[in-house]
Amino acid sequence: MLCLKSLRLSLLAFVVLIFVSANSVIAEGIYSKADATQMFEMSMSEWNANVMAVQTKGAGQALGNPTDGFGLAIQTADEYLIVRPNYRSPNQPEFLSVTIGYPPEQAQYLTETILEQLVALSIKQLAPEFVMTAKMRKVDQGVAIMAIIRKHDPY
């Protein structure tokens, strides 16, 4: 049973990559409701183990320290992704901080209108379970989308 849980955690690390999909960004948005759901179910210790498994495989880099919950940085062919669940208690994150950086080679195709549409689509796709706010910034001739994802609280 423990082996199955470890496998699940290792696989979840690669699921984080689904947050970004350069080939289908317009059609599917850039943030995944399924991934957010799984991440909000992870305790800090599960998340930290997940990040270390990704780093051990060479697929990403741990950021920060395990006391606060690691961040995870992943470089893909088309973008740079940083995911950090923010834990107020060790049982589940209060919110997810997700930053996607596009280098100049990709950013040149991402107009402000396209970026606004991507964010609006992501907000719509994450609803009603989640609420997302995002800011876009030009960074060193590239573009970064910095988002905060929270569970929807109807009260």
Q: Which long-range contacts link 122-131 to residues 24+ away (Cβ below 8 Å)?
A: 122/29, 122/30, 122/31, 122/147, 124/29, 125/28, 125/29, 125/31, 125/33, 126/31, 126/33, 126/36, 127/152, 128/152, 129/33, 129/36, 129/37, 130/33, 130/36
- % of residues, the chain, pLDDT over 90: 66
**63 vs 17 pLDDT, higher one:** 63
As a whole number of angstroms, the distance between CA 79 and CA 27 comes to 17
Q: Which residues of 97-135 are buried (b: 16+ CB within 10 A; e: fewer)?
A: ebbbbbbeebbeebeeeebeebbebbbeebeeebebebe
Report if pTM > 0.85.
Answer: no
Residue 22 has pLDDT above 90, yes or no: no
Between 8-17, 49-58, 108-117, 124-133, the lowest mean confidence (pLDDT) is in 8-17
Beta bridge partners of 145: 100, 136
CA nearest neighbour of 61 among 74, 77, 49: 74
Q: What pLDDT score was predicted for residue 8? A: 42
Q: What pLDDT score was predicted for residue 77? A: 86
As a whole number of angstroms, the distance between CA 148 and CA 85 comes to 10
- Domain limits for position 43: 2-151
Average of per-residue pLDDT values in the chain: 83
Domain count, the chain: 1
As a whole number of angstroms, the distance between CA 142 and CA 80 comes to 11
